[in-house]
Amino acid sequence: MTCTLMIYASIASVVHAQNIEAVTVVTDQQSGAILKFVNGLKSSLHKHKVNVINSKAATSISKSADNRAFYITVGGDPLAALISRKVSSPILATFISESAYRTITKDRHGRNITAIFSDPDPDYQMKLIKSLYKKPVKVAVLLSEATQEKRQSLEHLATKNELDLKIVNYNSADNIYKALNRISNTDILLAIPDDKIYNHDSIRTIILTTYRHNQALIGFSSGMVKAGALATIAAELEDMADEIKILINNYNTNKRLPSARYFRYFTVKINQHVARSFNVRNTNSVPEIIASIAEQMLTHLDTGTIKK
């Protein structure tokens, strides 16, 4: 089951006169998931011509605005390539975390770029925790110098979701065991995308250590759940394609790009073996969990406490 809640963010204007005719996907990746994503785009955007090019071919892209062109980048390098070319046509970044997107676009003053982040909205993740546990729990978050700017937002979301949050600073020069020992008295580690903490070399250590601490890990990708995290909010590739279709259709109507945001169509991934190990019982019905998250989101909308 997939859920979406259409919460409209602030609008960044980009004025073009004509509707989009061609969509160009710029990617350096050839994995099965990327190919499936591209095929899904071609199916969803059947009214548009969809081209796929390598970012190295970006040097041939015109810098001037083309009223009928729209670019979708897959990953950070293709986005950086288009930015270096100072492309004026609208660009949608995908398969990129919020932190990576902010880093790549920080010196970009134009308003022709937006993104659908690959990492889940921390607000949704906290609502997932509440739906899974249905009791007071202590939640820990590790932040390095690369993600310190998220502290205030996470504290606000924890207060809104009535969660007891402990944020611990992680120095990349430290031993990961030291940081994990500092949060061993919490029930859950909520992982925030941060290559300085969660990377190929450390993820197995983090999963095993939190497991020994009797501490569940809420991941930020389906891969982490397969590796041993308890659960995560995730976007299916087909749903991402449909969400992009809606974004492009809206752009054709109002000639505006929405502000960069997290994905809105979501499902829930749960590692049932890990759930049984931690005696988390409310995991058998994913549709019920999704409905619970959606209900919490609607409740916050009704009370006017949600901020985007």
The predicted-structure confidence for 3-53, as pLDDT tens digits, reads as follows 544 433 333 434 444 678 789 999 987 788 888 888 888 888 888 888 888
Distance CA 214, CA 122 (A): 22
- Residue ranges and CATH numbers for the domains of the chain are 11-119+235-262 (3.40.50.720), 122-233+267-303 (3.40.50.2300)
Cα(130)–Cα(187) distance, integer angstroms: 12
C-alpha closest to that of 116 among 61, 74, 67, 55? 74
With CA atoms as reference, report the closest residue to 102 among 146, 144, 141: 146
Distance CA 37, CA 238 (A): 7
φ and ψ at residue 254, rounded to 5 degrees: -115, 0
Hey, is 165 helix, strand or coil?
strand
* More confidently predicted of 56 and 277: 277
Q: Is 132 exposed, middle or buried (0-12, 13-18, 19+ CB in 10 A)?
A: buried
C-alpha distances in Å from residue 296, one per residue of 82, 129, 290: 39, 12, 10
How do residues 175-202 score in pLDDT, each as one tens digit?
899 999 999 999 999 999 999 999 999 9
Question: Does residue 168 come out as left (phi exceeding 0), alpha (psi in the -120 to 50 range) or beta?
Answer: beta
101-155 pLDDT tens trace: 999 998 776 678 999 999 999 999 999 999 899 889 999 999 999 899 999 999 9
Q: Is residue 50 within 8 Å of residue 78, measured between CB atoms?
A: no
Task: Say which residues have a Cβ less than 8 Å from residue 165's Cβ, sequence separation at least 6.
Answer: 139, 140, 141, 154, 155, 158
For the chain, helix, strand, coil in percent to 5 are 40, 20, 40
